[in-house]
Amino acid sequence: MVDFTKRAFIFDMDGTLVDNMRFHTEAWGKMLAENGVAMNAHDFLVRTAGKTNREILPNVFGALSDERIEELGNRKETLYQELFRPHRRPVAGAVEFLEEARRLGVRMAVATAAPEVNVEFILDGLDLRKYFAAVTTADDVARGKPDPEIFLKSAEKLGVEPAGCIVFEDALGGFEAARRAGMTAVGIATVNSVEEIMRLGSVAEAHPDFSGLSAQELIARRVPFSAVTN
């Protein structure tokens, strides 16, 4: 009898469970413009994907107090939620995939650079939190992706060895973080195309969304029980 509790799925949130990165970029643009800073949207997204607000804001504005970081970050997240709320929905096939994984007994976690206010906005707003045994956010780690800390903490919370984990990500920094953590990465192509992800990312495979993706078959392909000791 296969024990799927020895395998784990770790999901990035923004750009993976929801297709929302363009709304984040628009919110950053509005907040920065309010503070007299111009930005190239594409370059900004590439530079900051997977980073926490604590990492992003000092790089834009220079040295900031904790209070100012919180103020600017809160303003950006307010704008983002206003922009994305009318479009808030899971990526195609995500709920069906999560349901299958839960039926199998696969352990699941979210590992996101998002602040808790945005985690609540997505996971609670879309009734997704029930699928996850652990949620690790920007508030729980010292360093954002591509540092592997957030994925390693998630695996520890789930009680699954890194080699038994599959990470679902949309961003190059997330793919690299998964590689450094010793985990298998699967790309979800909401920002970059499948072809770009396969060319640039340290990924095993990539898909436009979760439609038609089988949890059981994915485990058999990428972390079969014969290949991992536990």
> Of the listed 3, 12, 139, 209, which one is catalytic?
12
Q: How far from chain centre, in Å, is Cα 131? A: 15
Tokens standing for 46?
């590439």
Query: Quick one: 46 exposed, middle or buried, by C-beta within 10 A (0-12, 13-18, 19+)?
Result: middle
Which residue do the tokens 């395998």 mark? Answer: 7
**Helix (H), strand (E) at residue 120:** none
Q: What is the residue whose two structure tokens read 């907040």?
A: 31
12 is catalytic: yes
Closest CA to 50 of 149, 135, 155, 173: 173
Of the candidates 138, 193, 180, 147, the one whose C-alpha atom is nearest the C-alpha of residue 13 is 138
What would the two tokens of residue 90 be? 């899971």
Contacts 24+ apart (CB under 8 A), 205-210: 209/91, 209/92, 209/93, 209/94, 210/91, 210/92, 210/93, 210/94, 210/96, 210/97
- What whole-number distance in Å separates Cα of residue 102 and Cα of residue 127? 15
Q: Is the peptide bond before 90 cis (omega within 30 degrees of 0)?
A: no
- Residue positions annotated with a catalytic role: 12
